Amino acid sequence: MPILCSNCIDKRAVLKRPKTGHSLCKECFFWAFEEEVHMTIESAKLFKPGEIVGIAASGGKDSTVLAHVMKLLNERYNYNLELMLLSVDEGISGYRDDSLETVKRNQQQYELPLKIVSYEELYGWTMDAIVKQVGLKNNCTFCGVFRRQALDRGAIMLKVDKICTGHNADDVAETVLMNVLRGDIARLRRCTAISTASEGDGVVPRCKPLKYAYEKEIVLYAYFKKLDYFSTECIYSPNAYRGYARTFLKDLESVRPSSIMNIVHSGENLSVREGVKMPVQGTCNQCGYISSQSLCKSCVLLEGLNRGLPKLGIGKHHRLHDKILSKEPLTEREQRKLKSVDF
């Protein structure tokens, strides 16, 4: 006796939803998935009609599905948004150039304008060159910090009003766990917000329409819709600390599938005691980007790379920020500490 879809009770069920465990047919699953994203967008009021929205596209499953669903919902519900694709080239040979091909294919399929910004043109360094200097342990820090700024710069070049990224529920849950493990109370408070604050120039507000979608459901959607995407792990990522949080989350999901939403729910309901010191938002003295210190993180990291002191920026060094700003040379002892170690 074939199992019937629990929604239409008409067609045969072809999949089981990881999120709720119900058995659904293809069409009902598509409809449920799209409907959920639509309700997330509506209830959080993510977009205003007439806005220009940049979709951060990496060629991976999240951004491919995001581009597809955004285009679909834009037409179905008349959001009146002008959509564009924005992509970042970190310069990782063998990984990024392949996924960028996928983005170019997406551009043709969905007929959306595309802009690619690269680390090479923005900072003068590719990730390959950075890893040669830094090693395999702290390189994710560089990539993440640079990418955020690259997205913002690209968005300003494209003149978009908002950026939307493909972060899914698993990503948000991982981030909550990672921030608890690292003791980062400031980020813990902010990381479950669905969109960033929109103050200041040089900053484009960012939102996550797929925040409540499970990663497995995104893959199911892409599989059944026959969407084409590039799916390989970044070659430099195996030693990242986030990997621990990710393995733990995967294990949690296998014990109890609702764990992912439970963690997101916990993160949203956390409250921090008064009197705990929080960073204050200001601007970088060198490049004008938003920063909570006198120098923004990417300026510090770049300075370190350019001077051959790759550990500048990993760990707390804000005492040296003034020195860097005034372009004083660092002492012998400071230089020795900041040089790279054997990896």
Bin 209: left if φ > 0, else alpha if -120 < ψ < 50, else beta: alpha
Q: Is 188 in the site for another protein (CB under 8 A)?
A: yes
The verdict on 1 binding another protein (CB under 8 A) reads: no
Which 255-294 residues touch another protein, going by CB under 8 A?
255-256, 258-259, 261-274, 276
As measured in angstroms, the least distance from the Cβ of 302 to another protein is 19
d(CA 37, CA 111): 22
Q: What are phi and psi of 148, to 5 degrees?
A: -60, -45
Least distance to another protein, CB of residue 308, Å: 17
Strands 290-291 vs 282-283: parallel, antiparallel or unpaired: antiparallel
Residues in contact with another protein, counted by CB under 8 A, come to a total of 66
Query: Is residue 72 within the footprint of another protein (CB under 8 A)?
Result: no
Among 254, 280, 326, 327, interactor with another protein by CB under 8 A = 254
Part in contact with another protein (CB under 8 A); list of ranges 110-118, 126-134, 147-155, 308-316: 308-316
Q: Is 4 among the residues that bind another protein (CB under 8 A)?
A: yes
List 142, 146, 212, 221, residue binding another protein (CB under 8 A): 212
Q: Is 57 annotated as a binding residue?
A: yes
Paired tokens of 41: 């967008």
* Single residue of 8, 156, 157, 197 touching another protein by CB under 8 A: 8
- Residue 319: count of CB within 10 angstroms of its CB: 8
User: Does the protein bind another protein through residue 330 (CB under 8 A)?
Assistant: no
DSSP-based three-state secondary structure for 198: coil
Burial of 97 (0-12, 13-18, 19+ CB in 10 A): exposed
Query: Which long-range CB contacts under 8 A does 314-323 form with residues at least 24 apart?
Result: 314/138, 314/141, 318/293, 318/294, 321/293, 321/294, 321/295, 322/294
Which residue stretch of 78-86, 96-104, 111-119, 243-251 sits at the interface with another protein (rule: CB under 8 A)? 243-251
CB of 267 to another protein, least distance (A): 6
Does the annotation flag 280 for ligand binding?
Answer: no
Q: Which stretch binds another protein (CB under 8 A): 1-9, 110-118, 219-227, 285-293?
A: 1-9
Using CA atoms, how far residue 333 sits from 5, 82, 89, 330, in Å, is 69, 54, 36, 8
What binding mask, one character per residue, do residues 92-131 give for another protein by CB under 8 A, x or -? ----------------------------------------
Classify burial at 130, counting beta carbons within 10 Å of its beta carbon; exposed 0-12, middle 13-18, buried 19 or more.
Answer: buried
Q: Does 22 bind another protein (CB under 8 A)?
A: yes
Contact indicator for 167, 147 with CB cutoff of 8 Å = no
251 marked ligand binding residue? no
Q: Does 137 bind another protein (CB under 8 A)?
A: yes
Tokens, residue 131 = 């890893």
Of 110 and 236, CB closest to another protein: 236
Collapsing DSSP to helix, strand or coil, 115 comes out as strand
166 is in an annotated binding site: yes
Q: Please tell me whether residue 194 binds another protein under the rule CB under 8 A.
A: yes
Burial class (CB in 10 A: 0-12, 13-18, 19+), 203: middle
Which residues belong to the annotated binding site for ATP? 56-58, 62, 88, 166, 171
Applying CB under 8 A, which residues contact another protein?
4, 6-9, 17, 19-22, 24, 28, 31-32, 35-36, 39-40, 43-44, 137-138, 176-177, 180-185, 188, 194, 212, 241, 244, 248, 251-252, 254-256, 258-259, 261-274, 276, 311, 314-317, 336-337, 341
